């Protein structure tokens, strides 16, 4: 790691500059376009329109995209460490599905509990993790069985959510955007919510770096070093579920960020999680902010949810990875 510390630091600084540039671009783009000069002058002089659009609509959305992209990419990176598989992702193995199922159930069947959606989302993600591990447990946890169990749980939860939509077909207006993964209409309340959860998740991720690197050695090598592999695997999975649930509670179901971004970061800095974690976090923020901005401006008369943008770009990338791995 020492030989690459300067390179990693330089890459992180570059990604911060890219993120700042994307943020400035996102502030100006939309149905009403503002140049950086107009934004600065409008905020300084108290222009009501610019203040409303920039401070109350676009800035909260940008911050949520940054935090959500960071959390999703870290969640994916941790799950890939647990399963020693670059194809692992919270949306593929059922973790995000558990959060979405719990949140959708509350939104459709108990709307009076909307303020508790984040807690239910985390509970759903954690319950999905527990079920996956119980199904995969056989004298220990095997990464391949975790993935297969996760895919099965994902399918079951997805069918339940679809059935729930059929039963509540007249009450889906607020749920469809959630299921497609959208940042539209998010405000400062959601910023503070996801910032709190993501902040805790990031701190927990930093505590998992050592364990993630140990898991890369394989179960036999890690056990020979006196490490309880199953304890680390379960603990890291819980942190990954927490991060995924934090994003689902605010942004809905956004796939492929946790798959694509850690893989890209691994190509840039290698598999050492001391470098992979910060690069994945910043790269995830840049990726989701770029995808959300693209969805806002690609078609002038409408907005494409960021979840659909990521699916359209992440899906082909997943197939490429699958073919390359095979």
Residue 289 clears pLDDT 50, i.e. is over it? yes
Q: Is the pTM of this model over 0.85?
A: yes
For residue range 171-225, what is the model confidence (pLDDT) as tens digits?
776 677 777 888 888 888 889 988 998 999 999 999 999 999 988 887 778 777 7
Considering only CA atoms, which of 243, 250, 254, 304 is closest in space to residue 77?
243
User: Which residues in the chain belong to E strands, given as ranges?
Assistant: none
The C-alpha R_g of the chain, in whole angstroms, comes to: 20
Q: How far apart are CA 13 and CA 261, in angstroms?
A: 17
Q: How far apart are CA 128 and CA 157, in angstroms?
A: 9
Considering only CA atoms, which of 103, 87, 106 is closest in space to residue 251?
103
What phi and psi, each to the nearest 5 degrees, are found at residue 219? -65, -40
The owner of tokens 């759903």 is: 124
Q: List, in sequence order, every residue forming a beta bridge with 141; answer none if it has no partner.
A: 137
Q: Average pLDDT of 75-102?
A: 84
Positive or negative CA dihedral for 132, 86, 199, 67?
A: negative
What is the reported pLDDT for 107? 83
Domains of the chain: 2-325 (1.10.3470.10)
CA distance to 72, 135, 285, per residue, from 132 (Å) = 19, 5, 28
109-113, 160-164, 298-302: range with highest mean pLDDT: 160-164
For residue range 94-137, what is the model confidence (pLDDT) as tens digits?
788 888 888 888 888 887 887 777 788 888 888 888 888 888 77
Residue 91 clears pLDDT 60, i.e. is over it? yes
What phi and psi, each to the nearest 5 degrees, are found at residue 260? -75, -45
């Amino acid at each position: 790691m020492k030989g690459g510390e300067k390179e990693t630091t330089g890459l992180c600084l570059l990604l911060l500059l890219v993120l700042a540039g994307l943020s400035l671009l996102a502030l100006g783009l939309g149905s009403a376009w503002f140049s950086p000069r107009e934004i600065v002058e409008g905020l300084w002089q108290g222009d009501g329109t610019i203040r409303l659009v920039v401070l109350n609509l676009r800035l909260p959305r940008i911050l949520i995209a940054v935090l959500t992209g960071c959390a999703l990419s870290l969640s994916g990176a941790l799950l890939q460490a647990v399963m020693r598989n670059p194809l692992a992702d919270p949306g593929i193995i059922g973790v995000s599905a558990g959060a979405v199922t719990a949140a959708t159930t509350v939104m459709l069947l108990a709307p009076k509990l909307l303020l508790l959606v984040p807690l239910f989302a985390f509970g759903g993600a954690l319950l999905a993790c527990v079920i996956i591990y119980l199904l995969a447990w056989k004298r220990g946890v095997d990464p391949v069985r975790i993935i297969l169990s996760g895919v099965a749980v994902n399918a079951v939860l997805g069918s339940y959510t679809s059935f729930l939509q059929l039963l509540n077909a007249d009450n889906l207006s607020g749920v469809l955007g959630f299921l497609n993964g959208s940042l539209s209409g998010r405000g400062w309340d959601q910023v503070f919510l996801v910032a709190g959860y993501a902040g805790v998740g990031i701190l927990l991720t930093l505590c998992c770096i050592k364990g993630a690197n140990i898991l890369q050695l394989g179960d036999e090598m890690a056990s020979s070093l006196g490490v309880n592999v199953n304890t680390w695997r379960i603990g890291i999975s819980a942190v990954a579920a927490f991060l995924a649930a934090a994003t689902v509670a605010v942004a809905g179901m956004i796939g492929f960020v946790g798959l694509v971004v850690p893989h890209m970061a691994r190509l840039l800095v290698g598999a050492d999680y001391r470098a992979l974690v910060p690069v994945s976090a910043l790269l995830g923020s840049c990726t989701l902010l770029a995808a959300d901005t693209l969805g806002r401006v690609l078609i002038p008369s409408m907005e494409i949810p960021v979840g659909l943008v990521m699916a359209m770009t992440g899906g082909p990338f997943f197939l490429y990875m699958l073919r390359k791995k095979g």
